[in-house]
Amino acid sequence: MPRIRLPLPDPEKPPPGPFRPEFWRSPLRSPQLTAMLGLVLLIGLPAVALTGLLSNDAYQPGLGGNALGRDVHGPLDFYLFGWPTGPSWLYAFTQGAHVIIGLAVFPVVLAKLWSVIPRLFEWPPVRSPAHALERLSLALLVGSALFEFVTGILNIQYWYAFPFDFTQAHYYGAWVFIGALLAHIPLKLPTMRRSLALRKAVLDGAGPLASPAVDAHARPLTSPNPGPTTLTRRGLLTAVGGASLILVLQGVGQSVGGPLRSLAFLLPRGRTRPGPLGFPVNKTWIGTGLHRGAVGVKWRLTVRGQRTVVFTREQLLALPQHTYDLPIACVEGWSTTQSWTGVRVQDLAALAGASGRMMLTTVSLEQGTYGSATLGHEQVSDPETLLALRVNGLDLPLDHGYPARIISPAIPGVHCTKWVSEMQFQTVEA
């Protein structure tokens, strides 16, 4: 058998173009720049990941029909705790933080990728099995980071430009990202610390910068053939920081709302389409395509527990009414607190003979993804969880879910079903 020889690339002779170190001419690239950006991401990225996992928990995907929307759960579908109902602004806070910090670090991620781009064209592309593994983990890290940021930002703009389900893709993409990040941090932490220490030594007057020799094989980030300086490093960092700040203002305007809402120049809801009471409408009544008659005098609410009870809106209004200030906090990051009045979900459970640890499935007149949601025991047993009939002292507007909608403290807005027609209480094991 003749030995087959693969034409291995000559390590000394990279093909022309980006594979040659002198192709990369920016005088700004250096291990120190990469380390500074890395330090910001070392704090920012775990914060985004953690608040994202909290958001997943708040969606209560373990309950039928919620979030991941699957009945079969894989090994990564774990939820550490039942989502609490207090403080009522909890989800508005964690999700606002997820969106704001995510927006803030996005320009830093792009700058960091720019700072290491010569490494993408290392020559030879693969030196050893270990090197191949390292490059694969980097490909997963960069790919999943870009995927998470792009899908997240498109999603908060309500631009569903992708053919797959956002929640599932963003959730499983996050696990790829978290795994790759956990592998990357311990590998690169020593390099980052050495680069920052070196920078400090230079600032303290210890002499000219020398690249820290951490990995002798890796392509140096500093250009061997630097072009003229057109932007200082401080100028670059100011531009990146400025971009972050603008996006943070957008995020704060969107999440905190109120007068700050006018800051949110990218806001897809509320600025361009304020609701009838001046707070955002996610899906409008017209958007459901339902017939007006469906919410007229013929509308009934069916409540199923041990027995089935049917209510007209007048009968619901004749039950004890309670008023609470509660936020609607959407996964897209916006939130708004209003004063809701209606019947306690607890009271409706009692009228249908349901008791003990319960979960509740709400069904809307509207069918489809948002037409049903499940609330867990924590929500059902909270006295502030209402079937709201009125908001800010007025009958619910059609756009906000007339004749009746769910409102419950600290949960994602997507669980606050509008145009409710049926409530099903089920007893669950403790």
Ligand X SMILES: Nc1nc2c(c(=O)[nH]1)N[C@H]1C(S)=C(S)[C@@H](COP(=O)(O)O)O[C@H]1N2
- Toward ligand X, which CB reaches closer, 82 or 371? 371
62/66 Cα distance (integer angstroms): 7
Output the smallest distance, CB 338 to ligand X, in A. 9
Place of tokens 């230079």: 202
- Toward ligand X, which CB reaches closer, 305 or 413? 413
Shortest-Cβ-distance residue relative to ligand X = 413
414/359 Cα distance (integer angstroms): 16
- Toward Mo ion, which CB reaches closer, 95 or 223? 95
Q: Which residues, 311 to 370, sit near ligand X by CB under 6 A?
A: 328, 330, 364, 366, 370
User: CB under 6 A: which stretch of 158-166, 210-218, 222-230, 281-289 binds ligand X?
Assistant: 281-289
Tokens representing 143 are 């790919």
Out of 400, 403, 409, 421, name the contact with ligand X by CB under 6 A.
400
Q: If contact means CB under 5 to 8 A according to the sort of partner, which of ligand X, Mo ion, none does residue 83 touch?
A: none
Place of tokens 């919620």: 66
- Toward Mo ion, which CB reaches closer, 58 or 349? 58
Using CA atoms, how far residue 167 sits from 83, 100, 151, 164, in Å, is 18, 18, 10, 9
- Toward ligand X, which CB reaches closer, 34 or 51? 51
399/418 Cα distance (integer angstroms): 9
User: CB under 6 A: which stretch of 18-26, 66-74, 236-244, 276-284 binds ligand X?
Assistant: 276-284
- Toward Mo ion, which CB reaches closer, 33 or 330? 330
Q: Residues touching ligand X: how many (CB under 6 A)?
A: 18
Is 281 a binding residue for ligand X by CB under 6 A? The answer is yes
DSSP 310: E
Over its C-alpha atoms, the chain yields an Rg (Å, rounded) of: 27
- 68 and 168 Cβ atoms separated by less than 8 Å: yes
Contacts of 246 (CB under 8 A, 6+ apart): none
Q: Whose CA is closest to 347, among 380, 371, 325, 372?
A: 380
**Which H or E element spans position 138?**
helix 129-156
Is 254 a binding residue for ligand X by CB under 6 A? The answer is no
- Toward Mo ion, which CB reaches closer, 173 or 413? 413
307/231 Cα distance (integer angstroms): 73
User: CB under 5 A: which stretch of 5-13, 326-334, 363-371, 419-427 binds Mo ion?
Assistant: 326-334
- Toward Mo ion, which CB reaches closer, 37 or 92? 92
Tokens representing 425 are 């209480």
Is 330 a binding residue for Mo ion by CB under 5 A? The answer is yes
Out of 413, 416, 417, 424, name the contact with Mo ion by CB under 5 A.
413
Output the smallest distance, CB 320 to ligand X, in A. 24
Out of 135, 283, 322, 377, name the contact with ligand X by CB under 6 A.
283
Is 98 a binding residue for ligand X by CB under 6 A? The answer is no
Is 45 a binding residue for Mo ion by CB under 5 A? The answer is no
User: CB under 6 A: which stretch of 32-40, 193-201, 353-361, 411-419 binds ligand X?
Assistant: 411-419
261/251 Cα distance (integer angstroms): 9
Output the smallest distance, CB 413 to ligand X, in A. 3
Out of 67, 414, 416, 420, name the contact with Mo ion by CB under 5 A.
414
Using CA atoms, how far residue 51 sits from 107, 319, 336, in Å, is 19, 39, 19
Place of tokens 């007339």: 402
Is 371 a binding residue for ligand X by CB under 6 A? The answer is yes
- 8 and 124 Cβ atoms separated by less than 8 Å: yes
- 93 and 409 Cβ atoms separated by less than 8 Å: no
Output the smallest distance, CB 220 to ligand X, in A. 49
Region for residue 281 given its phi and psi (left: phi exceeds 0; alpha: psi -120 to 50; beta: otherwise): beta
Using CA atoms, how far residue 37 sits from 86, 106, 115, 194, 363, in Å, is 36, 11, 9, 14, 48
Shortest-Cβ-distance residue relative to Mo ion = 330
- Toward Mo ion, which CB reaches closer, 31 or 413? 413
Q: Which residues bind Mo ion (CB under 5 A)?
A: 330, 413-414
Query: Residue numbers of the site for ligand X (CB under 6 A)?
Result: 280-283, 328, 330, 364, 366, 370-371, 400-401, 413-414, 416-419
